[in-house]
Amino acid sequence: MTPKVAAFLDSSALATPCLVLDLDRVAENYAALRHALPAAKIYYAVKANPAAPILRLLAGMGSCFDAASIQEINECVAAGAPPATISFGNTVKKPGAIAAAHALGVPLYAFDSLEELRKIASHAPGSKVYCRIAVNNVGADWPLSKKFGTTLDCARDLMLMAPQLGLVPHGLSFHVGSQQTGTVAYEMAIAEVAMLFTNLKAAGVDLKMLNLGGGFPVRYRDDVPGTDTFGDAIMTAMTKHFGNDLPDMLIEPGRAMVGNAGVVAAEVVLVCRRMPEDDRRWVYLDIGRFGGLAETEGEAIRYRITAGTGATGPVVLAGPSCDGVDIMYEKTPYRLPLDLQAGERVLIHDAGAYVTSYASQNFNGFTPLAEHYL
């Protein structure tokens, strides 16, 4: 938690749940990513946190944007991002959204199927396209591998077909999975896509761009390698496999740009033992799986959570809704103070990414968490 966030939490009688996020930390993260990979252009993955103050800050710093919908594209443009700096990175787009993006001047479109390539050809003729490759997501706490990407062979056929459809075959992309805790997945993916660059060049298609996706991790409860470690490993792998014929490099950090900038303040609603024989207390908070903590699904993202002071004991953590799956942590050991009471404040640290954007609308009447950008 940054001093600015701490001071704000101390001074204000805040309605909870809410996110308090320090924009200076976002600026620092942007600078750190630039420093770690100076050869790469940064396309902020808007879905991690689409708040206007974040988009305005990053647009002002010269960031580009990875958008998944026409709504996200419009939000970026409203925040001052030139359409030329936006990539329509979702491989699953509505035809009307492609046409609207094209009309705005968005130049770059992702695909991973022939059907999507045809849609882009119809609704954004002449655009630059890049094909997403499915890569191993080993090391990722929040994998993205099954739903997206195609094989190297299919990508080759599709890229050869793109010019016939009136499109510019511009590059390839991959995503090694979110909260990626190691460098191996990047190294393996770079080796694979480099082979396809070579193969396509021999076939007369000279690709210009490699989009390395996001995945860079945030330190939650466990230590993770620093941004520079990822930058060094990526540049070493790029040089090994591309020599001095490097393509334009793009990265699409989401979590690493905003995660550690924000803290969620929540309130304890109930502390009890479900059964007399329970050895753990159940702690119900005013935020849960439906209030924005969606990444606690499978206990995949394990936030650092603190409250009060004094001796602690083991707890199960659950949300306030009337849904049985609204339990955040049952298997992962969490401890909170033994004297914790309803009404007390709990802090969920490093929650700047993938919380506000996942909050449901009024489930059980609970309004989405408030947001404070400092």
Ligand X SMILES: *Cc1c(COP(=O)(O)O)cnc(C)c1O
Q: Which residues would be at the binding site for ligand X (CB under 6 A)?
A: 45, 47-48, 66, 89, 175, 178, 213-216, 252-256
* Residue 259 or 320 having the CB closest to ligand X: 259
* Residue 36 or 271 having the CB closest to ligand X: 36
* Residue 48 or 355 having the CB closest to ligand X: 48
* Residue 69 or 178 having the CB closest to ligand X: 178
Phi-psi region at 232: left, alpha or beta (left = phi > 0; alpha = psi -120 to 50) = alpha
Kind plus residue range of the DSSP H or E element containing 162: none
Q: Which of 23, 123, 1 is nearest to 374 (CA)?
A: 23
322 to each of 128, 319, 364, how far by Cα in Å?
Answer: 47, 9, 7
User: Contact 194/241 with Cβ under 8 angstroms?
Assistant: yes
Point out the residues that are catalytic.
322
Kind plus residue range of the DSSP H or E element containing 218: none
Percent helix, strand and coil across the chain, each to the nearest 5: 35, 25, 40
Q: Is residue 263 packed enough to be buried (19+ CB in 10 Å), middle (13-18) or exposed (0-12)?
A: buried
Q: Do you know the residue count of the chain?
A: 374
Residue nearest to ligand X (CB): 214
Q: In whole angstroms, how close is the CB of 242 to ligand X at the nearest point?
A: 21
Distance of CA 258 to the CA centre of its chain: 9
What SS3 class is residue 28?
A: helix
Q: In whole angstroms, how close is the CB of 268 to ligand X at the nearest point?
A: 29
Q: In whole angstroms, how close is the CB of 264 to ligand X at the nearest point?
A: 17
User: Contact 87/65 with Cβ under 8 angstroms?
Assistant: yes
Half-sphere exposure for 144 (CA within 13 Å, toward CB): 20
Q: In whole angstroms, how close is the CB of 1 to ligand X at the nearest point?
A: 21
* Residue 180 or 321 having the CB closest to ligand X: 180
* Residue 17 or 213 having the CB closest to ligand X: 213
Q: In whole angstroms, how close is the CB of 196 to ligand X at the nearest point?
A: 18
Q: In whole angstroms, how close is the CB of 185 to ligand X at the nearest point?
A: 12
Half-sphere exposure for 212 (CA within 13 Å, toward CB): 30
